[in-house]
Amino acid sequence: MSKDAPFPAPESETASEEGTIFAPRFDQDGLLPVVATSAKTGEVLMLAYMNAEALARTIETGEAHYWSRSRRRLWRKGEESGNAQRVVEMRTDCDQDAIWLIVEAAGAEAACHTGRRSCFYRLVPLGAPLGGVSLRFVDAERQFDPETVYRHSGAAKGTLKNR
Amino acid sequence: MSKDAPFPAPESETASEEGTIFAPRFDQDGLLPVVATSAKTGEVLMLAYMNAEALARTIETGEAHYWSRSRRRLWRKGEESGNAQRVVEMRTDCDQDAIWLIVEAAGAEAACHTGRRSCFYRLVPLGAPLGGVSLRFVDAERQFDPETVYRHSGAAKGTLKNR
């Protein structure tokens, strides 16, 4: 193990599932999907990705770090918006290819770059004809104004988005 | 839109984030990550993937369908184990490249192919030296015996696993 590869290589499927060695299974891009839920409300706040460095820094510091796929760089959650995430609990899944973080938010309690508490602010109605699925906004109040927080309007359109 | 492509193509970033047209953004493999949480306990049960067909069938039937990456086929959750998932609520995220399902489990209330309620039955301790991260089992009681349910021992080792 080195700074570049701080985790052991994945083991056999049985060892991955029933063992205690943390040997995460990164995908072909070197990433793991990460679900962050709120310690306060339990709701799913966001789905993002970690590379090995983001995972290592999160474990070391207890603060959520991700890999931004759009900006192609390590990203400490809240570094620009102030809405950092303290990790209360981290779990991995059966085959160690996904992470669940339970987090406490600092700042405006807004995980989404659009200013909302959660990125999941729209319902997909069930049973509708597929061609005409119309999303419905729920819990979509903005906790902050992205244009002010990110200081230029590009951010609100996604150039500084949370992934 | 056709049977093969039942959803409209993704729109501009602003329309994706602030609009009501459901135009999911599948990845280069044609998949979306899906977080399933329990309607009863709120916990994260599993992280899986949907292709367009799985997404369409889930919306049409209200029963969770996924794409099994290991078996490379559509998979109705519970088709072998009996542990189906009725979708109580479906949401999409800001850029429409992830899905959150709130589900009610039928059967043994076990979302994981290892027989556990959730796939996330191991903690990753924070602050530990990276080389020696040792997972800790939590909420890891089996709700069913995978060898019995899947009828042959290969299943317990992952050949019929939930992804």
> What tens digit of pLDDT does each residue of A10-37 get?
989 999 999 999 999 999 999 999 999 9
Q: Which residue type sits at A12? A: S
Segment B63-81 shows an average pLDDT of 94
Number of residues in chain B = 163
- What's the complex ipTM? 0.89
pLDDT of residue B108: 79
Q: Do A47 and B158 touch (CB under 8 A)?
A: no
pLDDT of residue B151: 67
Which range has the top average pLDDT, A57-66, A108-117, B123-132? A57-66
Segment A39-47 shows an average pLDDT of 96
| Partner residue opposite B126 with nearest CB, options A59, A99, A113 | A59
Is 90 exceeded by the pLDDT of residue B147? no
To the nearest whole Å, the CA of A75 is away from the closest chain B CA by 18
Given a contact cutoff of 8 angstroms between Cβ atoms, the answer to whether A21 and A8 are in contact is yes
Among the listed ranges A80-94, A124-138, B111-125, which one has the minimum average pLDDT value? A124-138
Supply B74's token pair: 């559509």
Segment A98-122 shows an average pLDDT of 94
- Please indicate whether residue A5 or residue B75 has the higher confidence score (pLDDT): B75
Which A-chain residues 80-119 have CB contacts (< 8 A) with chain B? Answer: 87, 89-95, 98-100, 112-114, 116, 119
Q: Do B47 and A98 touch (CB under 8 A)?
A: yes
pLDDT of residue A158: 43
**pLDDT tens per residue across span A60-71:** 999 999 999 999
Bridge-partner residues for A68, per DSSP? A73
pLDDT of residue A154: 45
CA distance B26 to B69: 15
pLDDT of residue B154: 44
